[in-house]
A and B are shown apart, each in its own frame.
Chain A
Amino acid sequence: MKPSRLPLVTTILVLVFFYLPIAALVIRSFNASRYTPAWKGFTWKWYERLWEREDLLSALGNSLKIATAASLLSMVLGTTAAFALHRHRSRLQDFHSLMVRVPLVLPDILMGMSLLLLFVSAGVPLSLITITLAHVTFCLSYVALVVLARLEDFDFNVVEAARDLGATPLQAFAKITLPMLLPGILAGGLLAFTLSIDDYVITFFVKGPGSDTLPTLIYSMIKKSRELPVINALSTLMLAITFAVVFAAQRLTRKA
């Protein structure tokens, strides 16, 4: 029997559905026309504009700082959580497991609101730090789940082997466990990075005045239509960064 063409057709349709809007955006970021979608020739000028915009550069700086800090923190906390979830099975851990997974599906609005309430009632001034902490709450779940998946097929005999060969618990962790889990932890961290850098809703709630990130700044710029081409260029750049990071994360998870 001839293999059915249906899967191929569906795949193409899905890809078109996903990527047509993005392709439109990328193309428009190179269009010399400011207001209309009609093609008026190729240009780099929107990208050049980006570098002249102080507010954009500072927002980019904020986003990168937050994403880096949030992913590093969630790598540490998420890995710890994954270990706790893997090594100890109890009713408390079942609850823990549920609690780690919930942020993946919890509406962002709800998380943003509750975090804002918490910060305000605790008297914490809203700043880059509050944004970072807020991002850690959901990034942590992703790291924990990625690392947990790695732990499922981790042979803990190697840790005993290291101890047997003279390693202290700390040495065994530093020389054996950590290097073996590092690809998983990094993959989780990169995933966290991409999630943090494009988060809008939660950031919107917990950001203080003047501490704009790229997504919040883009949203406020979108109201002025003459800014659109610059936003297109900016979005294309973010897209490129995200693709690069996701690609790296995939390479890491596949390798070992």
Chain B
Amino acid sequence: MPPLLRFENVTRRFGSFTAVRELTLDLEKGETFSLLGPSGCGKTTLLRMAAGFDRPDEGRILLDGRDITHLPPDQRPVNTVFQSYALFPHLSIRDNIAFGPKLKGWPSGEVRRETDRMLELVDLTDHAAKKPAQLSGGQKQRVAIARALVNKPQVLLLDEPLAALDLKLRQRLLVELDAIHDEVGITFLYVTHDQGEAMSISDRIAVMNQGIIEQTGKPAEIYEAPRSSFVAAFIGDTNFLDGTVTTAGDRFSRCALENLGEIVIDNDRTLRAGERVHLSLRPEKIVVVRENPALSPEENAIHGTVEDVIYFGSRTRYWVRCGCWRICAEMQHRRYQLDESLPQWGDAVWLRWHANDGYLLDRYREEDEALLTFPGEA
């Protein structure tokens, strides 16, 4: 099946700044697809080009096989939910929602029926006669969603729709949005800088940085198998380890870290001895133990001293000094934790992980370390 929405070699420049660079992206029908990236990465520009508020300098945008690159916004079967809601302040909630259908000349009975259905979908039937100024932030955002959805767009474009709301409300609306998506079955293109939002709502995510897509994949793929240091550091937290391959094995290879000895790494590609490799190791994959553990050949254990401890209630985060490395590890507290004695500041500990838990990066850039909670020192 051809993709529903396709960006083909799209480039957009603003003066000397290239916001989007030769980008190609396909959206499948019915999926929730997120564009995730820091501000200025080009995700909003891409969304605005899909909506028709902006035109690419090069490349094409296809919707259901049709070239819509130069179609004005009012002629595109897509609708947008704006970050600032952009509700019409002089119209009632009902008239806000009915705005699109009335313009399209739907019969008045149908306008009324569909508007009622949308009001019900977003649970605002009791507020239909109010003006936007009388609603709370969360309610306004639900009106914005209803106002866009009532037009039955082929793609719903959401531009940071929850960014202006507080955390609890954001989480609640995220669940509602997901339920709405399941109910209407429309393709969502969701732009956000919040990795948590993207992970929880998306079928697939494209991580963007500096106008290009760093990686596209299911949330779990993005998280577990980041291809670049940017993706690894932008989504969740991680440790970057780099070393030189000493012995290249069939399934596992050995790799020497600077003044720390050798570790086992998963060999998911053809590594050669002497090759330099960069590894992303998520904090929660590392187990912090006091005793030197008995290891299987695919497991690693390195010795270090606890430098910092942050207790989060459900989990504890440790920063452990291992030679010239400072490694972050995180432990979930699955059991009643007061009976255990957790490692404290200054304790000597072992960090243990399986070779499969580290992931080899295709691309590593040193500046991406700045994205980590505590940039590592090597």
Contact = CB atoms under 8 A, between A and B. Distances in A.
Interface string B76-87: 001110101011
Interface in A163-197: 163-168, 171, 175-176, 179-180
A164 B103 contact: no
B199 to A, nearest CB: 27
B73 A158 contact: no
A155 B132 CA distance: 14
Contacts of B100: 165-166
A59 to B, nearest CB: 39
A164 B88 contact: no
A15 interface: no
Contacts of A165: 74, 79, 99-100, 103, 147-148, 151
Contacts of B73: 160, 163-164
B89 interface: yes
A166 B73 CA distance: 7
Q: Is the interface of A mostly helix, strand, loop or mixed?
A: helix
A122 B73 CA distance: 47
A256 B74 CA distance: 28
A102 interface: no
Contacts of B147: 161, 165
Nearest to B78: A164
A25 interface: no
A162 interface: yes
A167 B88 contact: no
Contacts of A162: 88, 99
A171 B103 contact: yes
B362 to A, nearest CB: 38
B84 A157 contact: yes
Contact of A157 (B72, B79, B82, B103): B82
Given A160-B82, A161-B82, A171-B103, A176 B72 contact: no
Given A171-B103, A180-B89, A180-B90, A164 B79 contact: yes
B53 interface: yes
Contact of A160 (B86, B89, B99, B103): B86
Nearest to B84: A157
A175 B99 CA distance: 10
Contacts of B86: 155, 157-158, 160-161
A155 B84 contact: yes
Interface residues of A, number: 18
Nearest to A158: B86
Contacts of B84: 155, 157
A161 B87 CA distance: 8
Contacts of B104: 166
A157 B147 CA distance: 14
Contacts of B51: 160, 164
Nearest to A179: B90
A167 B86 CA distance: 15
A255 to B, nearest CB: 11
B80 A161 contact: yes
Nearest to B99: A165
Contacts of B82: 157, 160-161
Interface in A123-158: 155, 157-158
A19 to B, nearest CB: 37
B89 A166 contact: no
Contacts of B79: 164-165
Contact of A164 (B80, B89, B90): B80
A168 B74 contact: yes
Contacts of A155: 84, 86
A160 B88 CA distance: 11
A158 B74 CA distance: 14
A256 B133 CA distance: 10
Contacts of A160: 51, 53, 73, 80, 82, 86
Interface string B98-128: 0110011000000000000000000000000
27 contacts: A155-B84, A157-B82, A157-B86, A158-B87, A160-B51, A160-B73, A160-B86, A161-B82, A161-B147, A162-B88, A163-B53, A163-B73, A163-B74, A164-B53, A164-B73, A164-B74, A164-B78, A164-B79, A164-B80, A164-B148, A165-B100, A165-B148, A166-B100, A168-B74, A175-B99, A179-B90, A180-B90
Interface of A: 155, 157-158, 160-168, 171, 175-176, 179-180, 256
Instruction: Please provide the 4 A-B residue pairs with the shortest distance between their CB atoms, ordered closest to farther.
Output: A157-B86, A165-B100, A161-B86, A163-B73
Given A158-B88, A161-B82, 18 more contacts: A155-B86, A160-B53, A161-B80, A161-B87, A163-B52, A163-B72, A164-B51, A164-B73, A164-B74, A164-B148, A165-B74, A165-B100, A166-B74, A166-B103, A166-B151, A167-B99, A176-B88, A256-B90
